[in-house]
Homo-oligomer: A and B are copies of this chain.
Amino acid sequence: MAQDETVWVDDLLAGLDRTGPVPLYFQVSSTLEEAIRSGKLPAGARLENEIALGQRLGLSRPTIRRAIQELVDKGLLVRRRGIGTQVVQGGQVTRQVELTSLYEDLKGSHHEPSTTVLEHDVRPADETTASALGLPPGSDIVYLRRQRSTDKVPVAVLVNYLPMDFADITTQQLEERGLYQIMRNRGVTIRIANQKIGARRAEDDEAELLDLEPGGPVLTMERVAFDASGRAVEFGHHCYRPDMYSFETTLVAK
């Protein structure tokens, strides 16, 4: 077991790049993460202590600590004072709920997502929407209603409200990419999002769009997203076919 650790630590040492733009702590943490997910570092394996690890890699202790902390936050490692650092037990290596769109989620899981734009226009915001986006009531906003499918099976009905900066997004763009990717290409990066997940009965048109029995259950998500400057750039409320989609999270106590 100690053997395994030594092996990949040497790999890691060989792979460190001090000239490139990638932070050292990130190089260490991502190599470690790969080793854990691949099983090279099995569940329960103990890491060397932080000082020794640092010396072996030619890094300072704070840098090593930061790398380890990243993985603790992801729920892959557990640290205990006086004991050491261990790989978490069990098969509980789920990926975090990322700040990505459904489109990227589906694409990442080897499915072929497709989008049908149902509605796409400019209209005055109602009170809820204006408040969520931090705009004066009645301001114009971009309204968007899409049906998202994977492998030709409908998964979700997505309703979004966007500030007028995005009025020139075309319907074609929306059918080819995820909303967040379109935004990123325009220099807008989502930084913070508040989500609320719930359930309710499907409306009649939703049931039809999702190929569900009328009044059947749907999973719902409401989200307000903010860019780096803290400006609200998206408000949406979506509903999902519960047999096709669910939300997975890893929580780590602080």
Give chain A interface residues in 159-201, CB to chain B under 8 Å.
189-201
- Also in contact, A190 and B86, with CB within 8 A (given A217-B217, A248-B196): no
- B134 contacts A89, CB within 8 Å? yes
- B230 contacts A190, CB within 8 Å? no
Interface 0/1 of A209-253, CB less than 8 Å to B: 000000011111000101011111000000010100111111111
- A232 contacts B89, CB within 8 Å? yes
> Is A44 in the interface zone, CB < 8 Å from B?
yes
Query: Which residues of B are found within 8 Å of A86, using beta-carbon distances?
Result: 229-230
- B92 contacts A251, CB within 8 Å? no
Alpha-carbon distance A249/B247, docked complex (angstroms): 11
Query: Which residues of B are found within 8 Å of A99, using beta-carbon distances?
Result: 251-253
- A249 contacts B194, CB within 8 Å? yes
Copies of the protein in its oligomer: 2
> Which residue of B88, B246, B253 contacts A230 across the interface (Cβ within 8 Å)?
B88
Q: Is the interface of A mostly helix, strand, loop or mixed?
A: strand
- B231 contacts A89, CB within 8 Å? yes
Alpha-carbon distance A4/B193, docked complex (angstroms): 27
- A90 contacts B232, CB within 8 Å? yes
Alpha-carbon distance A240/B80, docked complex (angstroms): 35
Between A99, A194, A199, the greatest number of chain B beta carbons within 10 A of the residue's beta carbon is seen for A199
User: What number of A residues sit within 8 Å (CB to CB) of B?
Assistant: 53
Alpha-carbon distance A89/B225, docked complex (angstroms): 11
> Is A94 in the interface zone, CB < 8 Å from B?
yes
Alpha-carbon distance A78/B192, docked complex (angstroms): 9
Give chain A interface residues in 85-139, CB to chain B under 8 Å.
86-90, 92, 94, 97-99, 134
- A217 contacts B201, CB within 8 Å? yes
- B200 contacts A89, CB within 8 Å? no
- B194 contacts A94, CB within 8 Å? yes
Interface 0/1 of A63-86, CB less than 8 Å to B: 000000000000100101000001
Chain A residues engaging chain B, CB cutoff 8 angstroms: 43-44, 62, 75, 78, 80, 86-90, 92, 94, 97-99, 134, 189-201, 216-220, 224, 226, 228-232, 240, 242, 245-253
A-B contact pairs, 28 of them (CB 8 A): A62-B62, A78-B191, A78-B192, A78-B229, A80-B228, A80-B229, A89-B230, A90-B224, A92-B224, A92-B232, A98-B251, A99-B253, A190-B253, A192-B250, A192-B252, A193-B250, A194-B249, A194-B250, A194-B251, A195-B248, A197-B246, A197-B247, A198-B242, A198-B245, A199-B217, A199-B240, A199-B242, A201-B217
